[in-house]
Amino acid sequence: MARLPVSLQSLTIQCVALLLAALLNRLLQSPFSYQPALWQLALVQGAIAAGLSHLWRQPAWWPPLHFIFLPAILLARQAGVPAWIYLAAFLLLVLFYWSSFRTRVPLYLSDRKAWQAVASLLPTGQAFRFIDLGSGLGGVPFYLAQRFPQGLFYGTETAPAPWLISRLHAKFKRSRVTFMRRDYATLDLADFDVVFAFLSPAAMPALWLQAQAQMRSGSLFISLSFLVEGRLPDREVSLADGARHTLYAWRM
């Protein structure tokens, strides 16, 4: 059950919370003859959903989202939000989270501390090829390309919106970074000296098998936040307190 994609987890949580809120409402009506307002039921459903999300050990930002989901819908309906807004919001989410349902990899954006930590692991004074798997908006390769003129930098992303933003940004900046709209599972990682990933725990087992099968001896595999189960890293770089802020590196 815990291996379900986050999207299915969240849908299940919302449905279960709605059923529990309705059941609780029915149970309270008989002894107390109390009929709660719709907004009260929405808050109860949100609280139950947030609790279920916490019990399921979803990432820390999910419980608040579950809590406000149904109340936000009620507020939008009362405010008379046009129907096309919902369609536009849905399409925007699809463009940014195109394959998250299949890959179980949401859009994670790393920060400058992570970029600097990656830079500290790269070779100096020699040519190398670097790829960011799931490059998002391209922050990592853009930052590194400016500091390592001897390197060739690539990013690959399946979600249309982040990929297009990266491509346009690269063209505007006349950057040397090449962005591909491809699933990293279809790439041959032997073409790269350094492979960087900031994906999710669900994606790491298959990616590690791919890296072991394809990456050349002496090449470097780097993961932000997520370890490879059963394989201790050759190097760790701590960005802040907690495992979520650690860079792990393996020499293949």
pLDDT digits (tens, 9 = 90+) for 164-223: 999 999 999 999 999 999 999 999 999 999 999 998 887 889 999 999 999 999 999 999
Residue 67, both tokens: 């809590």
| Per-residue model confidence (pLDDT) at position 2 | 43
Residue-level pLDDT at 93? 65
Task: Answer yes or no: pTM beyond 0.75.
Answer: no
> What are the distances in angstroms from CA 52 to CA 5, 71, 200?
16, 17, 21
243 pLDDT more than 50: no
Half-sphere exposure of 121 (CA within 13 A, CB side): 25
- What average pLDDT does the segment 146-153 reach? 96
pLDDT in tens, 127-138: 999 999 988 899
Tell me, which fold does domain 112-251 have in CATH?
Rossmann fold (3.40.50)
All structural domains of the chain with their residue ranges:
6-81, 112-251
Helices (H), 158-220: 160-173, 204-214
User: Cα–Cα distance between 156 and 162 in angstroms, integer?
Assistant: 10
Mean pLDDT of 82-94: 70
Q: Tell me how crowded residue 174 is: count the other CB atoms within 10 A of its CB.
A: 6
Q: Tokens 């999207």 label which residue?
A: 7
140 pLDDT higher than 70: yes
Instruction: Render pLDDT for 1-28 as a digit per residue (tens, 0 to 9).
Output: 345 556 677 888 999 999 999 888 888 7
Rounded average pLDDT over 146-157: 95
Percentage of residues of the chain with pLDDT beyond 70: 84
pLDDT in tens, 50-85: 999 889 877 677 788 889 888 888 887 787 777 677
C-alpha 100/C-alpha 243 separation (Å) is 23
Cβ partners under 8 Å of residue 223, min gap 6: 196, 197, 198, 199, 204, 247, 248, 249
